[in-house]
Amino acid sequence: MQNLNRRQFLAASAATAFGFSLKAATSTARGLKIARTNQVHSVCPYCAVGCGVVIHTSGENVRNVRPYVVHIEGDADSPINRGTLCSKGISLKEFVVNDRRLTKPLYRAAGASEWTEISWEDAIAKAARKIKDTRDKGFVEKDAQGRIVNRLDTLGMIGGCTDTNEINYLLGKFRFGLGILPYENQARL
């Protein structure tokens, strides 16, 4: 625009005054933000329907990139939801990319009011210790009539709705191994 000569200036003035546009007609669409993303198939973590989701992460698997989540939407190949998602599922990106998302185990000691971060090793060790102590204290070998029952009534187990058959098989073995009777899964919550 700085190098406008008189003739060009007059042409531009006339075009502006009479309402002609010098620009070519716009018919292009906006750029697609998932045009070059990597797609990871996963399962929505919320309810027991278990809808398939596609997580779009930034493209180009080059050395200097740490991939980030671009978009999450329903998986068109999933026979469960065929690309659809509910209002909660479609907001999944806000769950994955969130400052308040828990990424480390938190521990609140008995009587304490604050949660403290602990390592996974400590968390698993603490959980194992509690399970062992509870089992040692509450294990019932024989019932009132003297029949062998080998059960544990003081522990319960709860499963997640996105667990696969394989995880559920292992959870079942774990439960029977300990003798736990009360169990529930998230499908009914």
**Interface with other proteins by CB under 8 A: which residues?**
17-18, 21, 23, 25-27, 29-33, 35, 71-74, 81, 83-87, 89-91, 93-94
Does residue 149 contact residue 138 with C-beta atoms inside 8 Å? no
Q: How far is the CB of 83 from other proteins (least distance, A)?
A: 6
The smaller minimum CB distance to other proteins, of residues 80 and 109, is found at 80
Handedness of CA 107, 151, 178, 137 (dihedral sign): positive
The smaller minimum CB distance to other proteins, of residues 17 and 112, is found at 17
What is the phi/psi pair of residue 81, to 5°? -120, -10
Q: How far is the CB of 86 from other proteins (least distance, A)?
A: 5
The smaller minimum CB distance to other proteins, of residues 26 and 165, is found at 26
What is the phi/psi pair of residue 178, to 5°? -85, -20
The residue to which tokens 């045009």 are assigned: 35
Q: How far is the CB of 15 from other proteins (least distance, A)?
A: 10
Rounded distance between C-alpha atoms, residue 77 and residue 52, angstroms: 8
Q: How far is the CB of 25 from other proteins (least distance, A)?
A: 8
